[in-house]
Amino acid sequence: MKLSGKVAIVTGAASGMGKAIAELFAAEGAQVVVSDLRVEGAQTVVAGIESKGGKAIAIAANVAKEEDVQQLIDTAVSEFGTVDILINNAGIMDNFVPAGDLTDELWDRVFAINTTGVMRTTRKVLPIFTERKSGVIVNIASAGGLNGSRAGAAYTASKHAVVGFTKNVGFQYANLGIRCNAIAPGGVSTNIGTTITAPNPFGMERAMVGMGLNPRAGEPEEIAKVALFLASDDSSFVNGTVVTADAGWTAY
C-alpha cells in the first residue's frame, strides 16, 4: 500500500473529490482525518472507511476560521501522533459574478475559503514537516486557476493565487524534504455546484463559451488517483507544479 503508516488530513472531505481522496488514501493504508464544515457528512465517510477496515476520524472545521484550522491540525496530531500529508480540497464557487458586479463580501468569502484557508492549514503543518524534514501538501486548484474565464472573477483570482502559493511553498521548502503541488481539475461531477445559488447571467454566459470544447466531465475518483500519485513517493521528483486533470479541455 502506497500510504502505509502515513497520516493524511483532507479538507472538504464529506463529499465529492475530498470524499474520494479520503477513501482512496485509507484504502492505501493512510490514517485519514476527514475534515468538513458538515461533520455529519464527514462522519458518514469515516463510517464507510471503517467498514472496510480503514482508520479515520471526522473533525468539523471551517477553513475560513483560524481557530478551526488550529484545532484541526492539533487534533490530528493528538489522535495520530503527527501529520504526513495535507490535502487542501475545501472550496466554493462564486456564482460567475464578473468584476463589475463584485461585492467586497463575495470576494472576501471566496478568498477566505479557497485561498486563505489553504495558507492557514499549510502554515500550521509546516513546523511539523520542517522538524521531521518530510511532508507533502496537495492543493486542489482548478482549470480556473490556469485560465481566465472558467468561473467568475473572485473564483478565478482565488485559484490563480493557490497556484502561485503552491509554487512558492514547493520551491522554498524543497531543501527541507517538503513537497507542495496542486491539481487543476476541469469539470468534475461533484456537489460544488450547490454553492452556485444565483448565477450572474452575463458572467455565466462568458464562462460557458468554452464548455463546448470540454471532452467530458470527470469523476471524483479520477482526481483522487492523481492526488494519490502526488501524495505518495511515486512523485518524489515532482514539486512546486500543477497537474492538470481535465480530459484535455485546456489543451485546445
Residue positions annotated with a catalytic role: 155
- DSSP line for 24-89: HHHHTT-EEEEEES-HHHHHHHHHHHHHTT-EEEEEE--TTSHHHHHHHHHHHHHHHS---EEEE-
Cα separation values, 166 from 75, 153, 192, Å: 25, 20, 22
Transcribe 170-199 into DSSP letters. Answer: HHHTGGGTEEEEEEEE-SB-SGGGGG-SS-
Give CA–CA dist 100/147, Å, rounded.
19
Determine phi and psi for 139, rounding to 5 degrees: -100, 135
The DSSP 8-state label assigned to residue 115 in this structure reads I
Report yes or no: 121 and 86 within 8 Å, Cβ to Cβ.
Answer: yes
| 107: three-class secondary structure by DSSP | helix
